[in-house]
């Protein structure tokens, strides 16, 4: 069931979203050559506890995965793109890191992700990250009342194609609000003017992710970490977005 949110409820989600956006920006600054992934995880745990927030990831146990998730971040390096388990790994020069997090404050959730290269960047990695960011902005721009969910998916897919990347259809965006994952599913490729009609009050997480040279994925033995099937590098960008009568409102953009 899809639950439309009131303006007041969207305002409460925006409080959570601001915290998520600011913490992600902080983590981007902490991530550097020589930093252990577990340092990032524990940094986020401290900030979440200090804010009195609740991680949406901790104890999350979907149909995939092996046992409950016992971290507050997904940290995916290089060919890993989604659901990467924080572990004892020290970031190296040129690593491409994707950071994904979702928390709830006072019962309202927000979810966001970004990708960054630590140290010396490979131009091909910067292009890949740029593609996800451009696709995210295109998807956000298409999330307007009176449009269709397929408009969002088509906008993302068109950007992927323009950069020369394929789109995997197994994982995409989703509704969000009282819980991290709500209806509807937001695919990263689709047909414009198709799918459910978009209404003010709908809140969704839009999250394009691309692999450099494949649209196929594989799972690690941990049951969580998703990698490109061919070992090529990956990138992921995400925002929580509310559709309002005046257009899309990004709830997780860090304030400058």
Which DSSP category does 121 fall into? P
Q: What is the pLDDT of residues 165-186, one digit of tens each?
A: 999 999 999 999 999 999 999 9
- The predicted-structure confidence for 201-254, as pLDDT tens digits, reads as follows 999 999 999 999 999 999 999 899 999 999 999 999 999 999 999 999 999 998
Q: Using CA atoms, how far apart are residues 112 and 118, in angstroms rounded to an integer?
A: 19
In this predicted structure, the answer to whether residue 145 has a pLDDT above a threshold of 80 is: yes
What pLDDT, on the 0 to 100 scale, is given for residue 63?
Answer: 80
Cα 9 to chain centroid distance, Å, stands at 21
> Which residues, 6 or more positions from 171, have their beta carbon under 8 angstroms from its beta carbon?
82, 209, 217, 226
Which tokens in the block code for residue 99? 């950071």
Residue range 46-100, pLDDT digits in tens: 999 999 999 999 999 988 777 899 999 999 999 999 999 999 999 999 999 999 9
DSSP state letter for 78: T
pLDDT at 1: 85
Q: Is the pLDDT of residue 256 over 80?
A: no
Q: What is the pLDDT of residue 254?
A: 86
Q: What is the pLDDT of residue 66?
A: 79
Distance CA 223, CA 144 (A): 36
């Amino acid at each position: 069931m899809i639950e439309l949110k009131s303006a007041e409820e969207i305002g409460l989600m925006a409080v959570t979203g601001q915290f998520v956006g600011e913490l992600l920006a902080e983590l981007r600054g902490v991530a550097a050559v020589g930093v252990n992934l577990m340092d990032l995880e524990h940094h986020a745990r401290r900030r979440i506890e200090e804010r009195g927030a609740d991680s949406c990831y901790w104890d999350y146990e979907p149909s995939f995965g092996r046992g409950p998730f016992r971290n507050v971040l997904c940290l995916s390096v290089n060919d890993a793109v989604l659901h990467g388990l924080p572990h004892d790994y020290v970031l190296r020069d040129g690593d491409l890191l994707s950071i994904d997090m979702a928390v709830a404050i006072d019962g309202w959730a927000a979810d966001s992700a970004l990708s960054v290269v630590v140290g010396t960047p490979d131009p091909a990695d910067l292009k890949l990250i740029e593609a996800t960011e451009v696709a995210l902005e295109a998807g956000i721009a298409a999330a307007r009342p009176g449009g269709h969910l397929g408009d969002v998916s088509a906008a993302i897919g068109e950007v992927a194609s323009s950069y020369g990347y394929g789109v995997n259809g197994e994982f995409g965006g989703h509704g969000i609000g009282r819980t991290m994952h709500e209806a509807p599913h937001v695919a990263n490729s689709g047909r414009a003017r198709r799918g459910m009609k978009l209404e003010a009050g709908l809140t969704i997480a839009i999250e394009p992710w691309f692999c450099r040279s494949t649209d196929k994925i594989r799972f690690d033995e941990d049951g969580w970490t998703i990698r490109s099937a061919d070992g090529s590098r990956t990138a992921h960008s995400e925002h929580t977005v509310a559709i309002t009568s005046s257009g899309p409102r990004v709830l997780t953009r860090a304030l400058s």
